[in-house]
């Protein structure tokens, strides 16, 4: 029988995706801490995207609409940087934001 092995995590790349810079000692970061930070960041991006989508759909001001569409796309791109390190719940958050952005 084949055993399931946990996939190797590149902590340096993960920490860089979170902090936006290379860490001197990324191996010192625990996977639990990195995952918690990832969840927090995704939740923040998700909230901003959802608020922006609501504003895009309700505003009559074209400048506001355009600004919020751009904001959605920037936050979505930031979510995608974290995607390789996400668990199922985190991936669901990204998918939910993607679904909300359809049609804007």
pLDDT digits (tens, 9 = 90+) for 37-90: 999 999 999 999 999 999 999 999 999 999 999 999 999 999 999 999 999 999
- Do residues 71 and 52 touch, judged by C-beta distance below 8 A? yes
Nearest to 80 by CA among 61, 94, 90: 94
Check pLDDT > 90 for residue 9. Answer: no
Nearest to 53 by CA among 103, 2, 95, 1: 103
* Residue appearing with tokens 């995704």: 42
* pLDDT reported for residue 1: 45
* Spatial CB neighbours of 39, under 8 Å, sequence gap ≥ 6: 89, 90
* pLDDT reported for residue 7: 65
* Spatial CB neighbours of 18, under 8 Å, sequence gap ≥ 6: 34, 37, 38, 41, 82
The C-alpha angle 46, 41, 27, rounded to 5 degrees, equals 150
* pLDDT reported for residue 87: 97
């Amino acid at each position: 029988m084949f055993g399931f092995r946990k996939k190797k995590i590149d902590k340096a790349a993960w920490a860089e995706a979170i902090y936006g810079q290379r860490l001197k000692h990324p191996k010192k970061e625990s996977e639990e801490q990195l995952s918690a930070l990832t969840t927090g960041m995704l939740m923040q991006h998700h909230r901003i995207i959802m608020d922006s989508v609501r504003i895009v759909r309700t505003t009559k001001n074209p400048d506001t609409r355009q600004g919020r569409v751009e904001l959605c796309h920037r936050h979505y791109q930031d979510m995608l940087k974290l995607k390789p390190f996400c668990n199922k719940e985190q991936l669901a958050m990204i998918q939910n934001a993607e679904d909300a952005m359809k049609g804007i």
